[in-house]
Chains A and B, each alone.
Chain A
Amino acid sequence: MDRKLLEILEGDGRLSTKQIAMMLSKEEGDIKKIIDEYEKNGVILGYKAIVDWDKTDREYATALIELKVTPQYNRGFDAIAERIYNYPEVQSVYLMSGSYDLCVILEGKTIREVALFVAQRLAPLEAVQSTATHFVLRKYKDKGVIYGPANFDERGNCN
């Protein structure tokens, strides 16, 4: 039941506890309690909308930056990761296996802003050995959602 609840919320974070209770044939109070618990212990970290900024007039650049870094004695990659993820422009930081160490996803107003961030904030860090910045040219799909025109219900009434 808990897994079902999390899957429901992961699919649509805007559902009310009442709706979820009905979907699972449970009491609303119980659902509230479980969600509160998840929010407290950090299983549920937040709720966000998925925005396609390309459909607005806001300029919005996304970049994926590969970082090779020197791990720190005793703290491994955690210290440098923390240093980086605390910048609000940074959307995601992943520790990777393979040819580089940290994958940093940056979102900024413009390409220039992103470039400056890499040059002024990331590259000078002592632990950073090298950076490779890749700009996203177009988002086709993010977080399981396809970026494109809104879906219309084209199903025919047949039976």
Chain B
Amino acid sequence: MDYNKFLSDKVRTIKPSGIRKFFDMLSTMKDVISLTVGQPDFPTPYHISNAAVESITKNKTYYTSNSGLIELREGISDYLSRRFDLHYAANGEIVVTVGGSEAIDMAFRAILNPGDEVIVPEPCFVCYSPLIEVMGGVSVPLYTSVEDKFKVTPEKLLPLITDKTKAIVLSYPSNPTGAIMTKEDLEAIAPILIEKDILVLSDEIYGELTYGRDHVSIASLDGMRDRTVMVSGFSKAYAMTGWRLGYVCAPKEIMDQILKLHQYGIMCASTASQFAGVEAITNGDEDVKYMKEKYDRRRQYVVTRLNEMGLECFEPEGAFYVFPRIDSFGISSEEFCQKLLDEKRVAIVPGDAFGTGSEGFARISYAYSIEHLTIALDRMEEFVKDLKK
């Protein structure tokens, strides 16, 4: 049967995620020690899980309002104001979503018309371009470089702006690079975005995981709140990936549109997850601190080891990834990772999964115990030694 005539042309032309291909191959292999997982290795803190269990046994198993439980939206509003100096009204400017991913999708759907250009800094997480393209938008890559610490600079931004540029994606702290953008970095590009009248989709899912200095949201800068759609969630900060709980914050005019899509497509985020979210956002600060401290120890361990084995590695200041350079061996990042997997049974993700500008790098997740990291890095060290011969 010819299914093509049944299928959406737009969807058919989207490329499957490169990272997926790698993970599928990985899942067929045995005895592999993996450094690929992009989620916390901690269990969800017990009091948070328990809040959900309690909500279920008390039969709070209805739909919530489309925007989410008001207690949760108020909790998010308080939290954003105390942590990041962001001010969003619980009513009208915050919608609780099924993870940050839904929030990103809804935001693009709410703002894009065919032909609109969206600047997407690479290397980046895999979802932005496909979601832009399915709306008929055009994804314009901005290739950040290790020399710029993978940040968006005015010099790189300006030449990409056309009269069709509608928005830019800012995803910091970054998966896969671990890069952050400081207040100064953001202040350097904000005037351009204001002058050229460009909207920002700011994906701040790793906002709690910065090391050494606090995360700054571009929406907290003068004149930026009104042109920013801010997306975040519970997955990374509270080790709640499986709960699928996120949120989107935006000016009411944008949110009214997002809410329609969310209402028709999703109705509301899972109610039990939302009750867990209320507990997390009101009583979870200590949990975040505890996990962050552990990540920081591992981060320093991994960076030191990689540098010692001769894999040049810029110091990541956020998320739980390092993104070492692996291009000094004269093979592609895909070959490097494949060889490492075949010869030493260690899995890391080739950089090219995160955009064409990411060739020559590989992503290593440190959301693992030191013991696990040590075994994997010992093997990697042998591998690099062999390659150098």
Binding site for B on A (CB under 8 A): 4, 8, 12, 15, 19, 22-25, 153, 155-159
For the complex formed, measure the closest distance between the CB of B104 and the CB atoms of chain A, giving whole angstroms. 12
Contact of A153 among B19, B41, B374 (CB under 8 A): B41
Q: Which of B80-88, B249-257, B295-303 contacts A (4 or more CB under 8 A)?
A: B295-303
Q: Which 10 A-B pairs have the closest CB atoms?
A: A157-B23, A23-B297, A22-B304, A159-B38, A22-B301, A23-B301, A25-B300, A155-B37, A23-B300, A155-B39
For the complex formed, measure the closest distance between the CB of B39 and the CB atoms of chain A, giving whole angstroms. 6
**A–B complex contacts, Cβ < 8 Å, 16 sampled:** A12-B371, A15-B370, A22-B300, A22-B301, A22-B305, A23-B297, A25-B304, A153-B34, A153-B37, A155-B41, A156-B37, A156-B39, A157-B36, A158-B38, A158-B241, A159-B39
The answer to whether A19 and B374 have CB atoms under 8 Å apart is yes
The interface bits of chain B over 140-180 (1 if a CB of A lies within 8 angstroms of the residue's CB, else 0) are 00000000000000000000000000000000000100000
The answer to whether A157 and B304 have CB atoms under 8 Å apart is no
Binding site for A on B (CB under 8 A): 19, 23, 26-27, 34, 36-39, 41, 125-126, 175, 241, 293, 297-298, 300-301, 304-305, 370-371, 374
What's the A-B contact tally at a CB cutoff of 8 Å?
48
For the complex formed, measure the closest distance between the CB of A75 and the CB atoms of chain B, giving whole angstroms. 41
Which residue of chain B lies nearest to A24 when distances are taken between CB atoms in the complex? B300
Complex-state Cα separation, A159 to B174, whole angstroms: 12
> In the assembled complex, which residues on chain B have CB atoms less than 8 Å from the CB atom of A156?
37, 39
A12, A25, A157: residue with the most chain B Cβ atoms closer than 10 Å: A157
Main secondary structure of the interface of B (DSSP, over half): helix
> In the assembled complex, which residues on chain A have CB atoms less than 8 Å from the CB atom of B175?
159
The answer to whether A159 and B125 have CB atoms under 8 Å apart is yes
> In the assembled complex, which residues on chain B have CB atoms less than 8 Å from the CB atom of A22?
300-301, 304-305
For the complex formed, measure the closest distance between the CB of A22 and the CB atoms of chain B, giving whole angstroms. 4
The answer to whether A158 and B39 have CB atoms under 8 Å apart is yes
> In the assembled complex, which residues on chain B have CB atoms less than 8 Å from the CB atom of A25?
300, 304
The answer to whether B301 and A157 have CB atoms under 8 Å apart is no
> In the assembled complex, which residues on chain B have CB atoms less than 8 Å from the CB atom of A15?
370
> In the assembled complex, which residues on chain A have CB atoms less than 8 Å from the CB atom of B301?
19, 22-23
Which residue of chain A lies nearest to B127 when distances are taken between CB atoms in the complex? A159
Complex-state Cα separation, A23 to B297, whole angstroms: 5
For the complex formed, measure the closest distance between the CB of B286 and the CB atoms of chain A, giving whole angstroms. 14
> In the assembled complex, which residues on chain B have CB atoms less than 8 Å from the CB atom of A157?
23, 26-27, 34, 36-38
> In the assembled complex, which residues on chain A have CB atoms less than 8 Å from the CB atom of B39?
155-156, 158-159
For the complex formed, measure the closest distance between the CB of B352 and the CB atoms of chain A, giving whole angstroms. 16
Complex-state Cα separation, A108 to B342, whole angstroms: 49
A4, A24, A158, A159: residue with the most chain B Cβ atoms closer than 10 Å: A159
Complex-state Cα separation, A156 to B126, whole angstroms: 16
The answer to whether B370 and A19 have CB atoms under 8 Å apart is yes
> In the assembled complex, which residues on chain A have CB atoms less than 8 Å from the CB atom of B36?
157
A8, A19, A25, A155: residue with the most chain B Cβ atoms closer than 10 Å: A155
The answer to whether A159 and B19 have CB atoms under 8 Å apart is yes
For the complex formed, measure the closest distance between the CB of B239 and the CB atoms of chain A, giving whole angstroms. 10
Which residue of chain A lies nearest to B305 when distances are taken between CB atoms in the complex? A22
